[in-house]
Amino acid sequence: MFKKTAIYLLLTGAALSFLYPFYWMILASLTPEAQIGQLGVLPKTLTFDNYALMVSKIPIWRSLLNSTFVAGLATAGVLLFGAMTGYALAKLRFKGRELLFIVIIFTMTLPFQITLIPNYILMVKFQWVDTFAALVIPALNSAFAILLFRQAFKSIPDDLIHAARVDGCGELRIIFQILCPNIIPTIITVGIITFMNSWNDVLWPLIVIRDEQLMTMPQLVTLFAVGGRAEAQLGVKLAAAVLLALPIIAAYSVFQRYFIQSMASTGLKG
Amino acid sequence: MAVIKFEHVTKNFGKITAIRNVDLEIRDKEFMVLVGPSGCGKSTLLRMIAGLEEISAGSLYIDGQIVNDLPPKDRDIAIVFQNYALYPHMTAYDNLAFGLKIRGFKKSAIKEKVLEAARVLEIEPLLDRKPKAMSGGQRQRVAIGRAIVRDPKVFLFDEPLSNLDAKLRGQMRLEIASLHKKLQATIVYVTHDQVEAMTLGDRIAVINQGEIQQIDTPQNLYNFPKNRFVAGFIGSPPMNFIDGVIRRSAKGLFFEDSSGALYAAAPQALEAYTCRNIVMGIRPEHLHVRPEKEAERYASFNAEVQLVERLGHESFAFVRLHGTPIAARLAPEDAPEANTTMTLYAAIHRMHFFDKETGKVIA
Ligand SMILES: Nc1ncnc2c1ncn2[C@@H]1O[C@H](COP(=O)(O)OP(=O)(O)O)[C@@H](O)[C@H]1O
Ligand SMILES: [Mg+2]
């Protein structure tokens, strides 16, 4: 009994120490600039001034839309093409299949700094710089998604696919109508991780996007915070940070059940 | 109409040859059983008929047309898998309806067909359940329902009963037999269970290591096995094999077992094998504790009884003839005691003789 209480106290303490910075951030963004320095645990004066100021200075709503569009397309693309690639690597028989898989896994081990410059040069050659194409198209498939889909499809018996073929299914119908409904946790994991990675990415947009109207939210907020336009006002920066974190927190709380389940079954973390 | 014909068909998986030069013709409306030990290539043969496995060499015909490259959906076949392979996310109704939907049947027509199939298989109460909420036997019925609902010209079964318990298996065996009568379709049925093979098949193809050993009716396979493998595979307990030599005496040829304890007159056809090592085969049911019939000739020998199994209506005596294990099927009242010596009478005209090297039957 005592042991259990102690464990719960410890866990609660740990949880609070993770939550407190978020709480402070939200609270501070709602506090007048002058009072942020003396901020305690409970709010004194609440105001939306910081938010109003931020909205007036940068096209934050536009960037929210851009981010949603880019992350949404990337996620859809990864789910679509990742499932197709994973299926081929798991279930179709062709020469060089294992080699291809090894090469794909190998790309995961390359630090992105190595591919950053070549990728940028490609974007320039394709004339995709300063277009959404540079943000979306390279993100339409991922080795990580392929790996997860392949593992999930491998666990499904061949005869299920055989039954579908005899019933008249083509490959696409087999993937999306027969197999995918049976690997929902994998789809959700891949979906959330892809969406978060795309949403949080700052470096790549910084390199390929210069037009403020095309910027993603993290990019815009980062430039705003470090670029001097926030005029060293902490409250305004924090307001931008809160808006940036909200969609991810919302998505996580909706899907966390699947997320944990699938993390446990695949042994992978994001 | 559905005649299936394999012509010199071979299947390789990389370096492994799973099917070797198979010739097999399955007649219209025939119940053909493919039987053989695990890994002999039965499923591969079946999947080739379905179009799920590419053919490495040779030709496969359905109704006289080469179908080597015809996709599964255009072959008008249905298949029931060992692990049922029902779509886990669909109800039984949708499992049955799925193939019809894809083929573009109208909703009302689909409903009619599904309900009819469900009625035949008595699975109506299961229709809105998903596979997870069914027992093995129920899944089996739904899987058969998914096959018959499309009314195909060929049914393929891949060890459909192997996951059921013994009682249910016996019951489903009868149902499949009556289904065959009702459906009037060609059936190819894979099993490793020789009881299923013997009871269901019009004809049986015995397969070993990717090659067809013999194709014949169940009775002929039992009476006239072509080689030692078939002789040993069909029948339970299996045929006894006794090593020995063919010798010549004043009265004609005879067989002498290698311990010199058993002598039996041998047919004249074994002339060429005089003084050569051969193998004699005799089934457990053709060994008796006394001569059964006046007119027949028997070879008697003494053997040590190791173990006796009493099944009520019959009993098995497992004996040894100088080290060679032999099983005898006896009437319950004839069962000996273990660790005694008994005299057995082997019916001479029931003996089979095999070439020791090739295993082929020689008389
Ligand atoms: N997809 C495959 N890849 C490689 N070898 C296979 C494959 N499928 C079957 N085999 C091999 O072919 C042989 C026959 O297999 P199978 O037809 O499944 O046997 P059975 O159904 O009689 O048990 C086995 O040796 C098996 O290992
Ligand atoms: Mg098999």
Of A218-227, B101-110, B273-282, where does mean pLDDT reach its minimum? A218-227
Q: Are residues A168 and A42 part of one domain?
A: no
Distance between alpha carbon A59 and the CA centroid of its chain, in Å?
22
Q: Are residues B263 and B339 part of one domain?
A: yes
pLDDT at B141 > cutoff 80: yes
User: Average pLDDT, stretch A211-233?
Assistant: 84
Of A114-123, A238-247, B47-56, B129-138, where does mean pLDDT reach its minimum? A238-247
User: Whose Cα sits closest to atom 1 in ligand 1?
Assistant: B13
Q: Are residues B109 and B20 part of one domain?
A: yes
H or E segment to which residue B211 belongs: strand B211-216
Q: Residue A49 — pLDDT band, cuts 50, 70, 90? A: confident
CA distances from B42 to B10, B157, B190, B197, B211 (A): 13, 11, 6, 13, 10
User: Average pLDDT, stretch A249-254?
Assistant: 81
The residue ranking higher by pLDDT, A72 or A240, is: A72
Q: Give residue A266's pLDDT.
A: 57
User: Average pLDDT, stretch A50-65?
Assistant: 89
Residue A54 falls within a domain, yes or no? no
Do residues B278 and B353 lie in contact, with contact meaning Cβ atoms separated by under 8 Å? Answer: yes
Partners of residue B67 in chain A, C-beta under 8 Å: none
Q: Which residues line ligand 1 (CB under 6 A)?
A: B 13, 16, 18, 36, 38-44
Distance CA B107, CA A83 (A): 31
Q: Give residue A259's pLDDT.
A: 67
Residue B361 falls within a domain, yes or no? no
Helix, strand, coil percentages, rounded to 5, for chain A: 80, 0, 20
ipTM greater than 0.90, yes or no?
A: no
Q: Are residues A169 and A96 part of one domain?
A: yes
Q: Are residues B289 and B223 part of one domain?
A: no
Q: Are residues A180 and A86 part of one domain?
A: yes
The residue ranking higher by pLDDT, A53 or A170, is: A170
Q: Give residue A222's pLDDT.
A: 87
Of A17-26, B6-15, B61-70, where does mean pLDDT reach its minimum? A17-26
CA angle A172, A176, A181 (to 5 degrees): 155
Domain total of chain A? 2
Q: Are residues B257 and B330 part of one domain?
A: yes
Distance CA A234, CA A60 (A): 17
H or E segment to which residue A259 belongs: helix A234-266
Helix, strand, coil percentages, rounded to 5, for chain B: 30, 35, 35
CATH number of the structural domain spanning residue A163 = 1.10.3720.10
Q: Are residues B282 and B188 part of one domain?
A: no
Residue A52 falls within a domain, yes or no? no
Q: Are residues B328 and B311 part of one domain?
A: yes
- Ligand 1 pocket, mutate which of B9, B11, B12, B13 (most atoms under 8 A from CB): B13
pLDDT at A270 > cutoff 70: no
- Torsion of the alpha carbons at A239, A244, A245 and A248, rounded to the nearest 10: 160
Do residues A141 and A82 lie in contact, with contact meaning Cβ atoms separated by under 8 Å? Answer: yes
Do residues A83 and A148 lie in contact, with contact meaning Cβ atoms separated by under 8 Å? Answer: no
Distance CA B174, CA B167 (A): 11
Q: Which atom of ligand 1 is least distant from the CA of B45?
A: 17
CATH number of the structural domain spanning residue B229 = 3.40.50.300
- Average pLDDT over chain A, rounded to an integer: 89
Main-chain dihedrals φ then ψ at residue B260, nearest 5 degrees: 75, 20
A107 is written with which tokens? 């790309």
Residue of A98, A153, A167 to mutate when probing chain B, most B C-beta within 10 A:
A167
Where a domain ends, among B181, B211, B233? B233
Highest mean pLDDT among A37-41, A61-65, B218-222: B218-222
User: Whose Cα sits closest to atom 2 in ligand 1?
Assistant: B13
- Average pLDDT over chain B, rounded to an integer: 94
Q: Are residues B169 and B105 part of one domain?
A: yes
Nearest alpha-carbon partner for B254 in B234, B232, B278? B278
* Domain of residue B226, residue span: 4-233
Q: Give residue A56's pLDDT.
A: 87
Q: Residue A22 — pLDDT band, cuts 50, 70, 90? A: confident
Do residues B225 and B234 lie in contact, with contact meaning Cβ atoms separated by under 8 Å? Answer: yes
User: Average pLDDT, stretch B105-109?
Assistant: 96
Sign of the C-alpha dihedral computed for residues B132, B134, B140 and B144 taken in this order: negative
Separation of CA A197 and ligand 2 centre (Å): 44
A8 is written with which tokens? 């719960």
User: Average pLDDT, stretch A38-46?
Assistant: 78
Residue B163 falls within a domain, yes or no? yes
* Domain of residue A234, residue span: 64-265
Do residues B26 and B5 lie in contact, with contact meaning Cβ atoms separated by under 8 Å? Answer: yes
Which residues are CB-contacts of A223 (< 8 A; sequence separation ≥ 6)?
A206, A215, A229
Q: Give residue A267's pLDDT.
A: 53
Q: Give residue B265's pLDDT.
A: 92
pLDDT at A227 > cutoff 80: no
- Torsion of the alpha carbons at B137, B139, B144 and B147, rounded to the nearest 10: -170
Q: Give residue A269's pLDDT.
A: 45
Distance CA A146, CA A153 (A): 10
What SS3 string covers B251-274?
CEEEEEECCCCCEEECCHHHHHHE
- Ligand 1 pocket, mutate which of B38, B43, B53 (most atoms under 8 A from CB): B43
Nearest alpha-carbon partner for A189 in A270, A105, A70? A270
Domain total of chain B? 2
Distance CA B26, CA B43 (A): 16
Which residue in chain B has the smallest CA separation from A161? B85
A118 is written with which tokens? 């070549």
Q: Are residues A136 and A37 part of one domain?
A: no
Q: Are residues A174 and A124 part of one domain?
A: yes
* Amino acid found at B164: L
Of all residues in chain B, the percent with pLDDT exceeding 90 is: 91
For A81-127, how does the pLDDT look when each residue is reduced to its tens digit (9 = 90+)?
999 999 999 999 999 999 999 999 999 999 888 999 999 999 999 99
Q: Are residues A129 and A10 part of one domain?
A: no
CATH number of the structural domain spanning residue B328 = 2.40.50.140
Comparing CB atoms, the residue among B52, B83, B102 nearest residue A157 is B83
User: How far is the alpha carbon of B143 from chain A, nearest alpha carbon, in Å?
Assistant: 10
The residue ranking higher by pLDDT, A79 or A249, is: A79
DSSP B31-76: EEEEE-STTSSHHHHHHHHHTSS--SEEEEEETTEE-TT--GGGS-
Nearest alpha-carbon partner for B353 in B283, B274, B268, B266? B266
* Amino acid found at B138: Q
Of all residues in chain B, the percent with pLDDT exceeding 70 is: 100
For B210-248, how does the pLDDT look when each residue is reduced to its tens digit (9 = 90+)?
999 999 999 999 999 999 999 999 998 999 999 999 999
Residue B360 falls within a domain, yes or no? no
CA distances from B261 to B156, B183, B187, B242, B351 (A): 49, 55, 48, 11, 16
Of A13-22, A127-136, B235-244, where does mean pLDDT reach its minimum? A13-22
Nearest alpha-carbon partner for B220 in B238, B242, B202? B202
H or E segment to which residue B216 belongs: strand B211-216
